[in-house]
Structure 1
Amino acid sequence: MEAKGEKFYQVLKDLFVGEARIEGRGGYINLLRIKSKYYERVKENIQEEISKVRKKYPEFEEELYDKLYTFFKRYISKSGAILFNETPFHNDVYEKVYTDKRDVMLFWKTKNLYYVKTDRVFKSMPVEFDGLRFFFDASEIEYKKNNEKREIIYEFDKVQNGEIRFKVKYSEKGRKTDTEEILKKLKKTGIRISEEQLKDAFRIFEKQSEIDYFINKNAREFLKEQFKLWLYQYLVDGTEEWSKERVEQLNLLRNIAYKLIDLIAQFEEELVKIWNKPKFVINSNYVITLDRIAKHGERGLEVIRKIFSHPNLQEQIREWKELGIVDDSFRVEEVLEWEKLSEKYQFLPIDTKYFKDLEFEIIGLFDNLDQALDGWLIKSENYQALNTILPKFKGKVRTIYIDPPYNTGSDGFIYLDRFSHSTWLSFMHDRLSLAKSLLSEDGVIFTSIGDLNPQEGESFRLQFLQSMIFPKRFGNLIWKKRGGIGSFSEKNLTENHEYITVFGNEKSFIYENIITEKQRKEYKHKDERGPYKWMDLLGPSQQTKEKRPNLNYGIIIDPNTCNIIGFEYNQNGEKKRELFSGKCTDIEIIYPKGNYTWLISRDVLKKHYEQGLIRVFKEKNGYSVKIKKYLFKPDGTVDGNILKSILTDNGVDVGLNADATRELKDLFYPDDYSALKPKPVSLVRLLIHATTKGDEIVCDFFAGSGTTAHAVMALNKEDNGKRKFVLIEMGDHFYTVIIPRIKKVAYSFNWHRGKPQDSNGIGVFFKYYELEQFEDTLARAVYKDDVMLIRGKSLYEQYIFLRDEKLLKALEIDYENNKVKVDLKKLYEDIDIAETLSNLMGKWIKKIKENEVEFEDGTIINTKDLDYKLIKPLIWW
């Protein structure tokens, strides 16, 4: 009996505490440690319950422990997560494999879980081999906030009693262990050790386990359902007749199990609330090119003068030099020439992080701030970001392009690429479900996915998953990603393509507006409306003079200037002239050649001429009259073809992955960011072009190197569009690649070896910020170390987190004046309350002032004297 009881309490402890005994720091770890303190109280109460059973049925105690152990051990992971851990699928007859609407459903093991991250579990440990003794101190490790990649860093500490001691840390910023420096220090202490022996010691320490962290979306319902089924199966498979005593024993078992489930579920429900809590916006800044400021006339020029006389200007210039935008020959006085912005420097990007005291003045130039922005860059784990911005962007995104981790094990993406199929599906399911809510009714989502060796990859699973989420499937696009050099002997083929799945909402559609390379070359001229070409005004042969006499008239021109000054035409058999542009000495009259006619009538021609759309060109054999034809129609569409599934058949230049790598290399030379596996701008531009007409929002929540923003800017430059981008990325390259890339592209689209080849970029105005993360909230939330019971209710009926402080330290109650003062600096140093409220309330920002934010619907909120009710969802869940 004692052995079975010990086994059960160990399982119970694992369920409550998980790996709480691991060392290091982190929000999740803090909560697990709090749970370990609650566990002692829970154990005490369960022992009391079992003692009551023992008094009535002493012979049932051993079986009771055994059955509780048998049930709960099936649903506990190493991290304390509640899931199908040891449950064989062939026993799960209760799985839903169809619904009334679908005869086949996709089911996977972790479907009802939120996937949080995969992380290692570190404990301080000694290592001995080859007569050498090491000790690795893991107490200072700060665990991952999300699923970002991190390197283990070893820092030599000291040699103590012949033992070589190291401090172990985590780094995501490219920092690596300096083994050469460690060997030098050891040599000074008199210890002789080879580099291979040192690396062997590191490898032994790193063989500690890796854990997937999950949160069960509804642990209470899940465990009770499993217990009912488990008990039912036991009853059905058992004896044919049950005595009254036996039924009562099983009822006691069920009651204890349910009480345990209620306690367990409270912790899981707390995690669900924190995971889905809207997050604070922190560390926000704006980037704006000078032309966007100068457009505001004298007010804008005054702001530019203040920027260029600011004490932090040198920091901004230093950044421009690091970006390669300017060199040592740059002179401040060249920016404003005769009180006018220099064309060469009009696209210099100003980052308000250097000019925080001018930020309100800069953004105050705009009457409708969010509408004026070209984009938002968000540094965050993407589920938390999508969930936070959903109220603001719900139903507003026309195009989503994502390039998620493919789960191949070899991808260099910042997300770990070693998820099992079930974990990967959970990871994708929750993010795609939020993406569906972001999409407009006619929105389209493109998803890049590899296909080689489908038994290991996720292509077919992704398509099944997306068909469950999105009501409309367009099909798959095929992108040739490389020339196919090389081979894989175990697969007998080389993968040189990827799929791009295409799904959407009920009213989704794709424009018939694919521009071919031939069209791009034909429309070689450009004005403020976009690319155009001069097209002959003569009609085709079937439009004859006999059939359309009203289109057969003479165009009177001044031969000296080629200006059109009137018409000559027949009216009732008489020739008449209509002059509308003054008198001139000489005139020439141009009639349609042969049996052709003009394409348009006199009135329309006159109107188009006055608009600058008609020109007369002098040629060797006379004159030609031509009309300006724009590539893009006023609504942003273009005469073209529907998107073909094989992208190379669309008559456009869709680059290979080598082209994408070259694009990054030209921007950031000599730095190499090929590990980010970028996609070529031409590929993403084509997808955006096929689904937008010029003023929509484009989103990418696996932003990688920022190709999607680059593609949006390139397309806006091409057709004078006003598309906006929303990019989400959690890796440190958010600051080292994405933001610098957009700044560089704003100045020039043409870079070579890290240098701009011209200054013909595009004006841009975007905001970038970070979001509070799940681990940040856990680390800051204040939990009590004891359980304070509400009188009249047992432990099992309590909400044990009711009296905990959450993030209420941000509030200060003024009892005398019956007011609550909000001080968010007690939580985070730099909270952008305007953007936080915009996300929370789903309202776009119109104006931001120092102590006030005004939204598009006219709502004005005092951000200095904030009503705590507004931010309650952010600090109390």
Structure 2
Amino acid sequence: MLKEQKFFNALRDVFVGAKVEGESGFVNLMHIKSQYYEKSVFPCLKEDIDRALKPFPEFREEFFDRLYTFFRRYFSESGSIYFRYTPLHERVYEQVYTDDRDVVLFWKTHMLYYVKTDRLFRNMEVELDGFRFFFDVSTLEHKKATEKRDLVYEFKERREDGTLVFTVAYSQNGRITKLDDIRRAIKDALGLRSYTDAVPSEDTLERAFCLFERQSEVDYFINKDARKFLREQFNLWLYQYIFEPELRKDAEEITERKSTIWTETRIRQLQVLKKIAYKIIDFIAQFEDELVKIWNKPKFVLDSHYVITLDRIAVRESGEALLEKILAHPGMEQQVQEWRDLGMVGEDFTPEHVWETDQTGRRLHLRYRYLPLDTRYFPDLELAILGLFDHLDVELDGWLIHSENYQALNTLLPRFQGRVKCIYVDPPFNLDENADYEYVVNYKDAVWLTLLENRFSLARQFITQDGSLFCRVGHDGNMLVRLLLNQVFGPENYRNEIIVRRAEEAKGELVKQFKNMKSMMVNYDNLYWYSVDPETRFPHITKPAEKKGQWHSFWKAEDRPNLRYELLGVSLDRGQWMWSKERALKAVENYQRYLKERLSGETIEQYWNRTGRKLEFVRRFRSTIQYWIPPRDSVVADNNWLDIRGYSNKWGFKTENSEALLYRILSNLTSAGDLVMDFFLGSGTTTAVSHKLRRKWIGVEVGDHFHNVILRRMKTVAAGDQSGISQEVNWQGGGFFKYFRLEQYEETLRRAHYEDVEPLFIQADPYSQYVFMRDKKMLDNAETNEKVVEIDTEKDEIRVDPGKLYDDIDLAETLSCVIGKWIRRIHPDPDNPTKPGEVEFEDGERVNLKNPPWKLIKPLIWW
């Protein structure tokens, strides 16, 4: 019975996972998952096992031992299904190559979707310095993605036994723990007029918080095809169990198995083992498949706004009249304050200053024509602004998206598939957990590869046939990324490996260490360049050259009489000219052009007479033959790019890519109007350079700095910011772009409505029945219980109101992503012109946004 109990306990952990407390969609689904198991599967499974083992009572102990041995290897404490534990003697995977690839990159989480890394926080009691602290995580809302978030503590109450209770939350909008406020609240709770030893010191509080934060961090995954994976692994395991008898050392015991004696009874026993294992696998796979469906469903576009410079409005028909309304709008006060905060206008600025008047009339002031308006300050005028444009998406310069990047790529794919000319990404490196970055960066190699593979596989589908991907990576993972990109894009699409400068020259102690060879600086990163089509011929990438001409000389050994001829009145009686006569005359012509442009139109003869430098550009003596190379603006680059800065620090990011680096790539391989994408946007360098080069762009970022760094930066770019490459490309300003956030996986889980009741089995085999079919998914909002979908049987119609799920849905943009069509116009609601009524797509199709068709909304709320 001991092994039987171990098996059922382990199986319960598979369904329930580690005990997780707090507020999250994952907790919601895990709760439902455990209910299904406890109420339905567990009793049914016990009956099936007892019935199957009835003829073989002697096999019972071995049966449970083998099931436990197999299943415990593939489940993590977060409930993820992968190679969690693999004994050294096991061959975990047989397919080490394919028919067309003799080397295949393999890692233990390759069959998964990476979701996030988070802490499994539980309520916790800590005793320290004579104080008893209790940390309450019952309302802790879990992280949505890989962003790094600090914990914030607030004093809640003092219990009768003296325990000090704290609530725990993740930081939002710069919120921090305020130790002074906590100590003051404790003092007040104790009824003290001044601080005494009864109030914990700041040091004690900080150490108590540190003790709480030592709770384990786990990676959350979803298996892409749990049924296929587990069945494949079970078959391999069963084969080895039967046909490879030898001494085995598992985690807890050493067992010596003897060769299998093939009897009818033994065969039937193993058939029972496989049958029950497959039943368990089928039921486990249902829950994993449900997560896959939620993970891959298109996400709603939320909280969208536009940024547009004044000149883009004023030049349109009726634009000046609309601009007058905007300048007189109550939201203008907030807009002007933002301009002041960004350093675009002075304290004495008023909206009237945007105009200047002279004899010819009134126009936008040159100084203020590129001021960027954010439509979030003018919600009732947003549709009027958009109505100025005949084809909205064509007029937009770019899209900024606040989202975990897999969700963004998966949602945007129908709309932008095959449209992106160049993707540039600088993903977070594999760094120490204490590294000061905006993201989780202490990935294990396998986790990191899974994160990148998921996203690169989607990204490849965005790129045009003649497009490229550039991926920057440090020494921490360059070998792995090169192999991964070969796998995703194909080795035939590898273009080059470029080294880019990482840091300034070593100084001080670093120089000393380098000289003593005690350590070596990491001076460059790797930039991998891949294409989609191996047949594509790319233009040469150029870099600036010295802008002065040069004399070049070489020694000519052979005697060639045909190179003796008269040139400009000079004949040769010995030696020879450098070139044939035809080429020499061409050189003279080129040299004459250079003299004309640079030396006030002098002829060659005049130049020679003035300088005495006759025939210096082609000498007749074998040992000193020379020729002139005129000055050039650029030369073809090699793969050593240490001549430019690879990083910058204008926006406070440790790994902020320099504009010079992106300029070299985009100016050579893209043209005005081409679409550029970066889904690890960081500080926004890719979108900033793309905008200055008049490329369209898509930027995706999950971090909280989306608003206070990236959005601010792009507004300053639109205003004509003169940093980076602005002067080099003569950037003056102007722009029109959209920014929004996407619904996230966690938000979907929280709003998904799952019935906490025993499922109704309508098939003979409950393990293979899709138990989630009868649940409401997002037809109702699980948080508010509001009905999103209502069926009117009398009118035979389905009415859908996505606004019951989220207050701020941009349905036009959402539907554009679902059906893959660009937006031409958003038509106002006739009953309320400040609200959208219809969206018109590029092919002329129009969709009612007040009561959208069920078939278009279905992928968003039912899976």
Residue 568 of structure 1 is matched in structure 2 by none
Aligned length: 742
Amino acid at match of 1:132: F
Matching of residue 494 in structure 1 with residue 514 in structure 2? no
Q: What is the aligned partner in structure 2 of residue 140 from structure 1?
A: 139
CA contact (8 A) 1:444 1:509 kept: no
Other structure's SS at 1:674 match = coil
The Cα of 1:496 is off from its aligned counterpart by 2.0
Q: Say if 1:242 and 1:644 are closer, same or farther in 2 by CA, change over 3 A.
A: same
1:805 aligns with 2:776: yes
Cα deviation 1:3-62 (Å, max 9, x = unaligned) = 21221111111111112x221001111111111111112111111112213432222222
**Which residue pairs with 2:181 in the alignment?**
181
State the alpha-carbon separation in 2 of the partners of residues 113 and 367 from structure 1: 44
**Change beyond 3 A, Cα 1:354–1:173:** closer
The superposition leaves residues 830-868 of structure 1 with CA deviations (integer Å, 9 ceiling, x where unpaired) of 111111111111111111112111111222222223111
Contact 1:789/1:795 (<8 A) preserved:
no
How far residue 734 of structure 1 moved from its aligned partner, in angstroms, is 0.7
SS in 2 for 1:153: strand
Q: Which residue of 2 aligns with 1:691?
A: 669
Query: What is the match of residue 768 of structure 1?
Result: 739
Secondary structure at the aligned position of 1:4 is classed as helix
Q: Any stretches of 5+ residues in structure 1 without a counterpart?
A: 452-456, 522-539, 552-590, 598-637, 665-672, 717-721
Shift, 1:370, TM fit: 0.7
Give distance in 2, aligned partners of 1:213 and 1:137: 23
Query: By how many angstroms is 1:413 displaced?
Result: 3.1
- Distance in 1 (CA, whole Å) between partners of 2:436 and 2:46 is 51
Q: Is 1:447 matched up with 2:471?
A: yes
Which amino acid in 2 is paired with 1:816?
E
Report if aligned partners of 1:127, 1:205 keep a CA contact under 8 Å in 2: yes
Task: Give the corresponding residue for 1:819.
Answer: 797
SS in 2 for 1:817: coil
The answer to whether the 8 Å contact 1:399/1:444 transfers is yes
Partner of 2:700: 728
Report SS of the residue matched to 1:286.
Answer: strand
Aligned to 1:870: 856
Match of 1:166 in 2: 166
Paired residue for 1:566?
none
Partners of 1:643 and 1:690 within 8 A in 2: no
Q: Quick one: distance in 2 between partners of 1:205 and 1:788?
A: 39
> Which residue does the alignment assign to 2:155?
156
1:187-242 residue CA offsets vs partner (Å, 9 max, x unmatched)? 55351433332222222211211111000000001111111111111111352532
Is the partner of 1:417 in helix, strand or coil?
A: coil
Q: Is the 8 A contact 1:512 1:640 kept in 2?
A: no
Aligned 8 A contact 2:401 2:700 in 1 = yes
Contact 1:360–1:848 (8 Å) recurs in 2: yes
Query: Would you say 1:512 and 2:540 are equivalent positions?
Result: yes
Specify the alignment match of 1:294 in structure 2.
314
Aligned residue number for residue 780 of structure 1? 751
Amino acid at match of 1:265: A
CA distance in 2, matches of 1:211, 1:697: 37
Match of 2:559 in 1: none
Overall identity of the aligned pairs, in %: 45
Note if contact 2:720-2:734 (Cα within 8 Å) is conserved in structure 1: no
C-alpha distance after superposition, 1:340-367 (max 9, x if no partner): 2221111010111111111111111111
Shift of 1:727: 0.1
Structure 1 stretch 237-246 or stretch 760-769: which is displaced more? 237-246
Structure 2 counterpart of 1:223, from 230, 234, 239: 230
SS in 2 for 1:81: coil
Report deviation, 1:641: 3.3
Measured in 2, the distance between the counterparts of 1:643 and 1:173 equals 44
Q: Secondary structure, in 3 states, of the residue corresponding to 2:680?
A: coil
SS of 2:526's partner is strand
Distance 1:543 1:233 in 2: 78
How many angstroms does 1:713 deviate by? 2.4
Deviation at 1:595, TM superposition (A): 7.3
Taking the aligned partners of 1:11 and 1:790, their CA distance within structure 2 comes to 25
Q: Does 1:376 align with 2:404?
A: no
Asked whether the equivalents of residues 646 and 660 of structure 2 are also in contact (C-alpha less than 8 Å), the reply is no
Is the alpha carbon distance of 1:760 and 1:796 closer, same or farther for their aligned partners in structure 2, counting shifts above 3 Å?
Answer: closer
User: Is 2:358 aligned against 1:331?
Assistant: no
- Tell me the alpha carbon deviations over residues 778-825 of structure 1, each in whole angstroms, 9 at most, x when there is no partner: 110001112433434331231100101011132111111001111111
> What SS is found at the alignment partner of 1:499?
strand
Contact in 2 for aligned 1:470/1:505 (Cα 8 Å): yes
Residue 656 of structure 1: how far off its partner (Å): 4.9
After superposition, give the CA deviation of every residue in 1:658-680 in whole Å (9 maximum; x if it has no partner).
Answer: xx11x32xxxxxxxx335x2111
What do the CA deviations read for 1:463-514 (whole angstroms, capped 9, x no partner)? 1111111131122111122213353799711112111111111144543353
Q: 1:237 aligns with which of 240, 244, 265?
A: 244
Which residue of structure 2 aligns with residue 622 of structure 1? none
1:391 counterpart residue number? 414
Q: Distance in 1 between matches of 2:518 and 2:736?
A: 48
Per the normalisation by structure 1, the TM-score is 0.81
Other-structure match for 1:634: none
Deviates most, 77-86 or 503-512: 503-512
Which residue, out of 28, 32, 35, partners 2:33?
35
Q: 2 CA distance for matches of 1:411 and 1:503?
A: 29
* Residues 395-424 of structure 1 deviation map (CA, whole Å, 9 limit, x = unaligned): 111111111111122543322011100000
Relative to the length of structure 2, the TM-score reads 0.82
- Give the aligned partner of residue 478 of structure 1: 499
- SS for the counterpart of 2:319 is helix
1:512–1:53 distance in 2 versus 1, CA, 3 Å: closer
Gaps of 5+ in 2: 191-195, 246-258, 550-582, 594-599, 607-631, 781-787, 829-836
| Structure 1 position 140, deviation (Å) | 1.4
- Determine if contact 1:320/1:326 at 8 Å carries over to the other structure: yes
Q: Is contact 1:511–1:692 with CA below 8 Å preserved after alignment?
A: no
Equivalent residues of 2:753, 2:777 under 8 A apart: yes
Query: Residues of 1 paired with 2:91 and 2:171: CA distance?
Result: 42
The corresponding residue for 2:365 is 342
Mapped partners of 1:824, 1:328: distance in 2: 43
Deviations 1:238-285 (A, max 9, x none): 525321112111111111111111100000000001111111111111
Structure 1, 818-827 or 159-168: larger mean CA deviation: 159-168
Tell me if the contact between 1:397 and 1:439 (Cα under 8 Å) persists in the aligned partners. Answer: yes
Aligned: 1:655 with 2:653:
no
* Residues 1:81 and 2:71 aligned together: no
| C-alpha deviation, 1:594, in angstroms | 4.2
Q: Which amino acid aligns with 1:243?
A: T
Confirm or deny: 8 A CA contact 1:154 1:168 kept in the other structure.
Answer: yes
Contact 2:153 2:168 in 1 (8 A): yes
Name the counterpart of 1:200.
207
Matched-pair contact (CA < 8 Å) for 1:543–1:596: no
Q: Which moved more, 1:492-501 or 1:699-708?
A: 492-501
What secondary structure sits across from 1:28 in the alignment?
helix
Larger displacement relative to structure 2 (348-357 or 481-490): 481-490
Aligned-partner Cα distance in 2 for 1:702–1:741:
16
How many Å separate the matches in 1 of 2:584 and 2:83? 75
- Seen in structure 2, the aligned counterparts of structure 1 residues 460 and 178 have a Cα distance that, compared at 3 Å, is same
Q: Aligned letter for 1:32?
A: M
Q: Residues 726, 304 of structure 1: CA spacing in aligned structure 2 closer, same or farther, 3 A cutoff?
A: same
Change (3 A) 1:497 1:229: same
Aligned 8 A contact 2:497 2:526 in 1: yes
Letter in 2 for 1:327: G
Q: State how 1:349-368 maps to structure 2 within 5 Å.
A: 349-368=372-391
Three-state SS of the structure 1 residue aligned to 2:242 is helix
**Which residue in the other structure is 1:255 paired with?**
275
| 1:164 partner letter | L
**Counterpart residue type for residue 35 of structure 1:** K
Change (3 A) 1:700 1:508: farther
Contact 2:544-2:633 at 8 Å conserved across structures: no
CA contact (8 A) 1:436 1:470 kept: yes
Q: Of the candidates 421, 426, 436, which is equivalent to residue 412 of structure 1?
A: 436
Q: Which AA in structure 2 matches 1:542?
A: L
- State the match for 2:610 in structure 1: none
CA 1:541–1:328: 2 relative to 1, 3 Å = farther
Equivalents in 2 of 1:863, 1:186: separation in Å?
52
